[in-house]
Chains A and B, each alone.
Chain A
């Protein structure tokens, strides 16, 4: 993240780290809501809600307007 290293190629583990975590929480969310009600449903909403929240943050964080 340091400015001098910004353009250095990233290893695959770095490129896929965040997508992998988001994929895992999505998967947990998809299954959790199927397993039970109440708390399980809430885990489902959280699991699938996190990727949405990350999207919003990436698009609307300061100095990163897309349009």
Chain B
């Protein structure tokens, strides 16, 4: 490689890293506990357990589940009914002040899926994991914060790619994984930076880029609303939210009959962002680890219970849905979560050592920085 090319890539590596490092440190540090958010919530917050029932116990009628929960929130409206992925004995009811109110600040009610008994209403906004989550997702700055962090994520990917290019001249005379322990601190940290960068690279690119995709979730939802959802709703667009709705259990039965090989994942009630003003949208998922991440909505007219339409979701929604497990690391049990955490810690060291290398090479004066340059040149040559 020509010296000019190396200098150019070094410049890209330096500046893409410097701009994003502080935010990437925030993301890695808040992301670390979020890998274990369920365990942390369980540890810090009491919750009423659902009844332990023998496997094969039939689920309670959903209309009873809804009635059991909503009796504890008489002046509020049900927006989403969600089957708990982690605990099949629990159903979440996501409720708001109006059927078509924004859903960001919804309260949650937990209801027993078999007995239809109300369990509790966890105060999720008071949970530590909620603050970490908000810091991680948008720094409490809404969509602009999200998109900004997404841009930082893109810079992170640029930093990784340019890091691969500058890795070659740095390792020209070294075996893989060499840490020159008897050399100056700068050389040791350079070696550590190169080693840890090299071992975490694929994981970091995948987690980094799927994180970027996740920052576009709101935009993806908007695209789907204006595209496929509008087509599916057709002439029902703009209809009034029904005062009386048909049985939600019947709606789910109809949806399950249409897609017998799928399992209901959540239901969006009329007026919410995931459906029209007059349909239940029953979102069905597949039954393998991969297809259980993919959703297919079935629109059921909430006025009369008739089937309106179902379609597989467009590629941009599927991409978002598949990118989620790859970002969260929640798809391979506890061992995968621990591996996620360890790789996250290594990434923190890569970020920190990169920052240190920049500071140390900058030095207090030009003379010092020239001396450092000489040291690193010598280091690279030896």
On A, residues with C-beta under 8 Å from B are 1, 6-10, 12, 15-19, 22-23, 26-27, 30, 33-37, 40-41, 44-45, 48-49, 51-52, 54-55, 57-59, 64-67
Contacts and interface: CB of A to CB of B under 8 A. Distances in A.
13 contacts: A8-B173, A18-B198, A19-B167, A19-B198, A19-B199, A30-B202, A30-B326, A33-B332, A34-B289, A51-B200, A58-B176, A64-B181, A66-B191
A26 B339 CA distance: 11
A44 B177 contact: no
B331 A33 contact: yes
Nearest to B192: A66
A25 B325 CA distance: 19
Interface in B185-222: 188, 191-192, 195-196, 198-203, 206
Residue among A15, A59, A66 having the largest count of chain B Cβ atoms under 10 Å:
A15
Given A34-B289, A55-B346, A44 B336 contact: yes
Contacts of B325: 34
A1 B342 contact: no
Contacts of B331: 33-34
B188 A1 contact: no
Contacts of B178: 58, 64
A64 B195 contact: no
A65 B181 contact: yes
Contacts of A34: 289-290, 293, 322, 325-326, 331
B179 A64 contact: yes
Contacts of A41: 332-333, 335-336
B201 A33 contact: no
Given A10-B172, A19-B201, A45 B289 contact: no
B181 to A, nearest CB: 5
A66 B199 contact: no
B195 A55 contact: yes
Contacts of B175: 1
Given A33-B332, A44-B336, A52-B339, 12 more contacts: A9-B173, A19-B199, A33-B331, A34-B326, A34-B331, A35-B289, A37-B289, A52-B199, A52-B346, A64-B178, A65-B181, A66-B191
Contacts of A23: 201-202
**Interface footprint category on B:** 35 or more
A38 to B, nearest CB: 10
Contacts of B201: 19, 23, 26
Contacts of A33: 289, 331-332, 336
A10 B176 CA distance: 11
A66 B181 contact: yes
B203 A30 contact: yes
Contacts of B374: none
A67 B179 CA distance: 10
Nearest to B172: A9
A67 B181 CA distance: 7
Contacts of A52: 199, 339, 342-343, 346
B317 interface: no
B336 A48 contact: yes
Interface centre among B168, B206, B288, B336 (most CB of A within 10 A): B336
A20 B171 CA distance: 14
A19 B188 contact: no
Contacts of B167: 15, 19
Contacts of B200: 51
Interface string B343-381: 100100000000000000000000000000000000000
- Interface centre among B179, B202, B336, by most A CB within 10 Å? B202
